[in-house]
């Protein structure tokens, strides 16, 4: 039995000390620093215990039995409060007992090595053998310096030689500790011989790989060696030893995709394994593989086929919009009967705030589809649709593929918001890129530049939104089924506010019905006097403003119930902001009211004309666009052709100037809808015949006096009714559009259809 003594101890799990070694390392724990302080107060001896790597706490069972008695040669306190030690190892010792829970004090017993007493010639043979192997090992490993070889050659103890070589050779932590714990010198020697031979063989393979020479080592053996080495390195670093390509292959097995897609990904994984893991090319390749694995190649969600439930959801979320709802339910019915039917590409066109985006959300909920929104407003680069080529730095997939990746399924509802605002520049034609996306004949093999593999978009339900159909490029327009989401009437706004917006804003602002009441009169006044829009966005903001002020009064003044009426509405919203356009107070010559469509709804335009002596010049003011200027010129040309009928002198147009003006000149105005209005106003001014203030008109004129169809009839009719107009003249070609407008809007209006300028003048001028 050896000598037993108590010693201060430090526990390590990263380095191994062999006898007669000096080592320099830092202490990172307070316990280790405390043990060193105890040692310095005594004989400067400290016991180094080695912890098993897989264990996280310290106990006798979690420590290797054999440790090392060492002497502290130097101790330094660093600026970061850590302690740096220089230790000189002495001899092995065995742990008998751990005396505290942090192992800062242990009971150790000295141990003796066995097997050194062997025959002289056998000992010499053993020493020569291991020296030769060590020299051979040094040829392949630059960490072995010449003085180390000299030390081995001059050491005649087998135990000391094996300990020195073990401390010098780069070996895993556990392997070195197994040699340290082997007290039988012969067993330790034989084990070290095996290790050295293996290391020399590995070093030879490494050297051959570097030189790229032909060697009789199979490809499988090389790959096995490299993967094992990579695993060992990762294990030393505390990382997951499972190789990266193995992880990717594991994910590939789970991927729902075609054989062609899987083969392509497998090829890319193999390519990644051959690249330098830290290189930029490997990073690009890694990102590409991750994108391919995250795409839903054949993964689909199950659509609902319950038409009744879908109708309930759409009706609950939105008031009116019957055309949109009916089209979606038709699509659902067809899908229920034919699961392989093509998904329609619907484009919702209408003014801002009419609920186009929220309709798409409701459709996704009704169909039980994943919802993805892609905003195209201001998109100028084709690569944002088709993706970047992988040769570019920072390449990434386009918005379409990124949307699929976000959805996680190949059949989501994808909203292409503001498709009319996608612009074209030198960086590519974005609208042309969208053609392939939205063409049902092509999108089953959509090719994203980054992905490089055809992506199936045929299962995606595309819904696009736009404020103006005229701004959508014609080829793109033809690929979509356009549904107009028209302006809301005052009655529709009232119902939307009462049934949807109040509840929504009460929840957002933490209010309940018992706290705040907004009566019907107040809602109607908000619509008439505080908002001027086609949709309900501003209306919602005003309701939100009332809720905020009510919340402040409840907390500040302690009011239990606040009631908002038309009478006290100004206390919450201030003075009235708008007043409706109204008809003129009297009939006047040269003033005719026209109707116009704007992105925020319909409006009336009071077109004024003055005739003055001059040189036959035409003056156009009021921020008119090119189309309206051309309409004015066409109208005057037509009037000159019929001048004799209205007893206008043939020299009149050469001797007089005509000035056409549209008030509110700061607001740009353009579009093919004011031709007949301007022509009527000019004739009225020339002949000094007043036009009825109760009449408004819209329509385009040709040189021969034909009246052409125009758009935006619902908004225009609504604006006319709001202004108090009684009679509205519209092109005969728009009769079908007028018949679709609800009776609520047309009620109280006389709609007169005209096909030529002759019909217009007979109705409003000659009568």
**Cα–Cα distance, 449 to 445 (Å, whole number):** 12
Burial pattern 296-321, b for ≥16 Cβ within 10 A else e, equals bbeeebebbeeeeebbebbeebbbbb
Q: Which residue has the tokens 């609800």?
A: 742
Catalytic residue among 176, 716, 721, 756: 716
Closest by CA position to 711, among listed 701, 700, 722: 700
Name every residue whose Cβ is closer than 8 Å to that of residue 348 and which is 6 or more positions away in sequence.
324, 356, 359, 360, 463, 464, 465, 466, 483, 485
Report whether 734 contacts 713 (CB < 8 A): yes
Which DSSP string corresponds to 742-763? -HHHHTT-EEEEESBHHHHHHH
Is residue 580 helix, strand or coil?
coil
673 is catalytic: yes
Catalytic residue among 673, 684, 692, 756: 673
**Cα–Cα distance, 702 to 638 (Å, whole number):** 8
DSSP state of 412: -
Phi and psi based region of residue 698 (left: phi greater than 0; alpha: psi -120 to 50; beta: remaining) = beta
**Cα–Cα distance, 655 to 174 (Å, whole number):** 111
468 is catalytic: no
Q: What is the crossing angle of helices 185-211 and 158-168, to 10°?
A: 40
Report whether 75 contacts 40 (CB < 8 A): yes
Query: Considering Cα of 619, then 624, then 626, then 629, what sign does the dihedral take?
Result: negative
Class of residue 461 by CB neighbours under 10 A (exposed 0-12, middle 13-18, buried 19+): buried
Residues taking part in catalysis? 673, 716
């Amino acid at each position: 039995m050896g000598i037993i003594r108590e010693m201060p101890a430090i526990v390590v799990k990263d380095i191994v000390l062999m006898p007669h070694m000096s080592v320099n390392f830092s202490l990172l724990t307070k316990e280790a620093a405390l043990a060193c302080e105890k040692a310095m107060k005594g004989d400067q001896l400290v016991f180094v215990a080695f912890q098993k790597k897989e264990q996280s706490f310290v106990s006798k069972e979690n420590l290797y039995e054999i440790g090392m008695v060492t002497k502290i040669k130097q101790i330094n306190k660093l600026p970061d409060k850590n302690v740096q030690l220089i230790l000189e190892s002495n001899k092995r010792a065995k742990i008998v007992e751990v005396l505290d829970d942090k192992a800062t004090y242990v009971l150790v017993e000295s141990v003796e090595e066995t097997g050194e007493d062997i025959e002289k010639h056998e000992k010499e043979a053993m020493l020569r053998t291991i020296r030769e192997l060590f020299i051979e090992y040094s040829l392949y490993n630059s960490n072995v310096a010449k003085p180390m070889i000299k030390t081995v050659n001059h050491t005649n103890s087998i135990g000391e030689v094996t300990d020195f070589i073990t401390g010098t050779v780069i070996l895993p932590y556990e392997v070195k500790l197994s040699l340290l714990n082997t007290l039988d010198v012969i067993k330790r020697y034989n084990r070290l011989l095996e290790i050295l031979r293996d290391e020399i063989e590995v070093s030879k393979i490494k050297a051959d790989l570097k030189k790229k020479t032909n060697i009789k080592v199979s490809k499988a053996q090389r790959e096995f060696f490299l993967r094992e080495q990579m695993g060992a390195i990762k294990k030393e670093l505390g990382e997951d030893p499972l190789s990266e390509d193995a992880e990717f292959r594991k994910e590939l097995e789970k991927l729902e995709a075609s054989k062609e897609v899987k083969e392509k990904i497998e090829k890319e994984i193999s390519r990644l394994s051959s690249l330098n893991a830290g290189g930029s090319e490997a990073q690009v390749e890694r990102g590409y593989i991750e994108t391919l694995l995250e795409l839903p190649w054949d993964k689909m969600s199950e659509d609902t086929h319950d038409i009744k439930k879908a109708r309930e959801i759409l009706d609950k979320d939105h008031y009116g919009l019957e055309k949109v709802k009916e089209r979606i339910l038709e699509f659902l019915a067809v899908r229920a009967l034919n699961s392989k039917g093509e998904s329609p590409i619907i484009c919702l066109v209408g003014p801002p705030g009419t609920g186009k985006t929220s309709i798409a959300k409701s459709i996704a909920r009704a169909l039980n589809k994943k919802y993805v929104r892609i905003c195209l407003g201001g998109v100028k680069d084709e690569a944002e649709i088709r993706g970047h080529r992988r040769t570019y730095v920072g390449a990434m997939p386009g918005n379409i593929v990124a949307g699929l990746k976000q959805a996680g399924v190949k059949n989501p509802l994808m909203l292409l918001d503001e498709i009319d605002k996608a612009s074209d520049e030198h960086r590519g034609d974005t609208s042309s890129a969208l053609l392939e996306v939205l063409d049902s004949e092509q999108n089953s093999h959509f090719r994203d530049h980054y992905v490089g593999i055809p992506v199936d978009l045929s299962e995606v339900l595309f819904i696009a939104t736009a404020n103006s159909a005229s701004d959508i490029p014609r080829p793109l327009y033809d690929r979509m089924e356009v549904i107009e989401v028209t302006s809301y009437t005052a009655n529709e706004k009232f119902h939307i506010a009462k049934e949807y917006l109040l509840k929504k804003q009460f929840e957002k602002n933490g209010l309940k019905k018992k706290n705040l009441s907004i009566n019907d009169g107040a809602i109607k006044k908000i619509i008439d006097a505080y908002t001027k829009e086609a949709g309900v966005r501003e209306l919602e903001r005003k309701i939100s403003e009332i809720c905020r002020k009510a919340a402040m009064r409840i907390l500040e003044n302690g009011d239990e119930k606040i009631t908002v009426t038309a009478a006290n509405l100004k206390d919450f919203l201030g003075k009235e902001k708008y007043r409706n356009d109204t008809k003129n107070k009297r009939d006047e010559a040269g003033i005719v009211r026209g109707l116009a469509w704007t992105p925020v709804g319909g409006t009336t335009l009071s077109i004024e004309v003055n005739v003055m002596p001059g040189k036959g010049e035409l003056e156009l003011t009021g921020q008119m666009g090119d189309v309206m200027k051309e309409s004015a010129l066409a109208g005057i040309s037509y009037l000159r052709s019929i001048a004799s009928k209205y007893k206008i002198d043939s020299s009149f147009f050469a001797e007089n100037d005509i000035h056409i003006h549209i008030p509110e000149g700061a607001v740009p105005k353009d579009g093919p809808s004011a031709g007949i209005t301007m022509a009527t106003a000019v004739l009225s001014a020339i002949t000094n015949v007043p036009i009825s203030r109760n009449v408004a008109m819209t329509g385009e004129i040709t040189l021969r006096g034909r009246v052409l169809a125009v758009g935006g009839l619902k908004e225009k009719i609504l604006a006319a009714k709001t202004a108090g107009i009684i009679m509205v003249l519209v092109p005969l070609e728009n009769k079908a559009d007028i018949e679709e407008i609800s009776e609520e809007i047309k009620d109280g209006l006389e709609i007169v259809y005209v096909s030529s300028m002759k019909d217009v003048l007979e109705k409003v001028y000659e009568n």
